[in-house]
A and B are shown apart, each in its own frame.
Chain A
Amino acid sequence: MNKTTSIVICGVGGQGILLASEIISDTCLRAGFMVRQSEVHGMAQRGGSVVSHVRFGQEVFSPLIDNGTADFIVSFELLEALRYLPFVREEGIVITNTQRILPVSVASGDASYPANILDTLLDHSAHLVAVDAHAEALALGDPRMINMVLIGALSRYVPFDAGLWIESIENRMPESIASLNIRAFNVGRSLPYEHMTKA
């Protein structure tokens, strides 16, 4: 793996996007790669759209992903996958939670939530993985597990040993909830998702 791999992680402030990004970065380091992870704090986190960039490889320069170059997008919310789709390269893989969280303008009836997002995502990516991570997390008894389910889904496409991901989660999470997080990761890694690939 000589080239730099770029992952866009996006969603809505408060969904655990920054924690997921930290775990991805830490796993990259454990796998022996240089990694740069870029995020923004402050104003952006108050229920707004949030995006984090992770780039890893033997050598990584810019911490920011340019449009049309991301290998993966992991979106914690359906509309946000569409918003950040311009980052993804033509052969890129889109992993998205199918959960919808309404922006205030939609919730108040002043705008409408775009229809057929999954079709648009499929039209513009090589491979689409649609995951109802919210339902999976609820089944595990904790809606916060969305991020681990989605990391688990991502882990199938990034060639690191599962053990490295788990080490990273164990190291990062308090002992009391580490095992639940690992279970959620394994759910994400092993669920028979609805995969969609262009014919």
Chain B
Amino acid sequence: MRYKNCVESYAVLSGNEAIAQAAYEAGVTVASGYPGTPSSEILARFAEYPDVYAEWAPNEKVALEVALGASFAGARALMTTKHVGLNVAADPLFTASYTGVRGGLVVINADDPSMHSSQNEQDNRHYARAAKLPMLEPCDAAEAKQFLKLAFHYSEQYDTPILLRTTTRVSHVKSPVLIEERQKAPIAPEIVRQSGKFVMLPANARRRRLDVETRMGNLRALAENCGMNRIEWHDRKVGFITAGVSYLHVREAFPEASVLKLGMVWPLPADLIRQFAVEVEKLIIVEELDPFLETEIKSLGIACLGKDLISPIGELNAASVRQAVLGKPPAEKIFAVGSLPPRPPALCPGCPHRGLFYVLSKMKCFVAGDIGCYTLGAAPPLSAMHTCVCMGAGIGIAHGFEKALGAEKTLGSVVAVIGDSTFFHSGITGLVDIAYNKGCSTVIILDNRTTGMTGHQEHPSTGHTLSGGKVVPIDIAAVCKAVGIDHVVTVDPNDIQATEDAIRRETNRPQPSVIIAKASCVLLPDMKRKADGNRYVSIIEKCAGCRACIRLGCPAVHWTASGSNAAASQGRSRRGFSRIVQSLCYGCGQCASLCKFGAITSKDTANE
């Protein structure tokens, strides 16, 4: 493939792009995952290489099982996930630790300290310890590539899946990476029956349990000697032990200090750590999130400082590390910006979700929400989402509300909202629960024909695969009916009246129901083309200043408050008027349908 940014054999790649390149070079032939920031770009990029198979699985559990199957068959296999996705895949992960592999198997896990695009900032290094698996942690794109290639080698050598942990500032930081040739994977896939290894019946699992301990012992020995863990000797007054991007912050903040840089963060090299600790006067552990290294190092009987200085919350940077260690604020003069109007992310102009949330807001429904672009429905002025926990949770939570309050109190007022991709991820099982246990909740599936928030990935109902192949889209309505929901209706959320009618009817029904609010994401290429020329304008003379359109929270509808003179000149006491910004308007028409004064009209009509 051609590199967008390539100078001789180096390219400026993000950590995610470097991981895709490394997987290609390592001879990986099967890769599966589910999109999730900050991991999403890995598979999209990997799918562009020749002679590879890459897929979006419906969720991370399936993705890991697919990669495990490919590994059992002998192929080198990759699974990608964000941190919370590994929770979903935890079940196969813990037992894959027992089965081990045939072809190398690496799970790329991307943590998101500071929660740039996540609902929590769990520290997934704990999974390595809990599942008894080795974990590697690169500090940048070049190391991510180097470590991933080593990981496949070690996976086969030590018969273990390997976790490679990135964080947002490794996944999304671009830096030069050396591009190399592809290698052939060492094993050719074939059917091999190894029941003692792959069938985890208790008798077999008990034998493998012993193998896991032996393996971890061997990996501890590897950790002592592998090049991924290294000491950089400088001044010995203070020594730092650190890993991942924190290493770069430490080097920036304290270029004169000695550093033990850990590339393999589980199992840890106890002897190397002891050797470093005795040579430095003061030992400081710098790590983002939990005191993972610190706890282990202290358990070796080594005195050190860590979370007493460094915050366990959010990302670090060089300044925060410097300030924590030195105990004084930075010397730089910093401009105090004061209070500015915030610019949070918002639903796009023309977003079909807006029409639905407008109705839910108007009806004062309690909305059990989910994870996706539509979580932005929680923001004012719509403020139409009242729970958001994890992928698929909204359906179970709505059902739980009904069982706690009784149907007579939830009918007409409690709904679940979930996206199309999220529905396939983990919404179907929640719906089965409602049908099976005689619930009467209404589930609204926001079907915008894509996985929006993470960058428009395909899913089982879009009609395309990751590599662009055409497939028969899985029919969401048919799935809902098949699990036992008799009342399934489809509405266009841009048609606000029809949407309101459907929600009133279905939420008051004493049986379970599904409303599919179906309209494409306006950022999809086909929809962008349709937008041209189909815009709306406001006729200021007709605008009564009622602000009905403003309540949509559309970035394209602007409000101009009237001065008293302006109001007087219109001959009535209106508060102001609305104006539609042509460069932002998509042409969905939601605002026009809310205007009782005929002041918003399509551009074509206005020109006639």
Contacts and interface: CB of A to CB of B under 8 A. Distances in A.
Interface of A: 12-13, 22, 25-26, 29-30, 34-49, 60-64, 66-69, 79-80, 82-83, 85-86, 88-90, 102-109, 111-114, 124, 143, 168, 171-172
Majority DSSP secondary structure for residues of A touching B: mixed
B553 interface: yes
Contact of A29 (B7, B253, B334, B336): B7
B550 interface: yes
Contacts of B255: 61
A53 to B, nearest CB: 9
A62 B288 CA distance: 14
Nearest to A37: B174
A22 B5 contact: yes
Nearest to A123: B335
A44 B369 CA distance: 19
B328 interface: no
Contact of A106 (B6, B38, B341, B344): B341
B248 interface: yes
A46 B348 contact: yes
B243 to A, nearest CB: 15
B436 interface: no
Contacts of B345: 13, 43-48
Contacts of A35: 12, 174-176
Residue in B4, B341, B346 whose Cβ sees the most chain A Cβ within 10 Å:
B341
A107 B5 contact: no
Interface string B466-508: 0000000000000000000000000000000000000000000
B257 interface: no
A79 B343 contact: yes
B335 A88 contact: yes
3 A-B pairs with least C-beta separation: A68-B332, A42-B117, A42-B37
Majority DSSP secondary structure for residues of B touching A: loop
Interface residues of B, number: 63
Contacts of B346: 46-48, 104
A108 B553 contact: yes
Contacts of A124: 335
A79 B339 CA distance: 12
25 contacts: A26-B7, A29-B10, A34-B175, A36-B175, A37-B173, A38-B169, A40-B172, A42-B116, A42-B117, A43-B37, A46-B347, A47-B555, A61-B251, A61-B318, A62-B317, A67-B319, A67-B330, A90-B333, A103-B343, A104-B553, A108-B557, A109-B550, A109-B559, A109-B561, A171-B6
B455 interface: yes
Given A36-B140, A64-B315, 16 more contacts: A22-B12, A26-B7, A35-B174, A40-B116, A44-B117, A46-B347, A48-B344, A62-B249, A66-B332, A69-B332, A103-B342, A107-B555, A107-B557, A109-B561, A171-B5, A172-B5
Contact of A41 (B373, B455, B559): B455
Contacts of A63: 140, 169, 173, 175, 245, 248
Interface in B1-20: 4-7, 10, 12
Interface in B428-468: 453-455
Contacts of B337: 82-83, 85-86
Interface string B106-133: 0000000000110000000000000000
B553 A34 contact: no
Contacts of B576: 109
B318 A80 contact: no
Given A41-B172, A83-B337, A89 B332 contact: yes
A38 B171 CA distance: 9
Contacts of A42: 37-38, 40, 116-117, 453-455
A13 B558 CA distance: 18
B304 to A, nearest CB: 22
Contacts of B341: 79, 103, 105-106, 111-114
Given A36-B173, A64-B317, A107 B6 contact: no
A49 B342 CA distance: 8
Nearest to A31: B7
Interface string B39-70: 01100000000000000000000000000000
A82 B7 contact: no
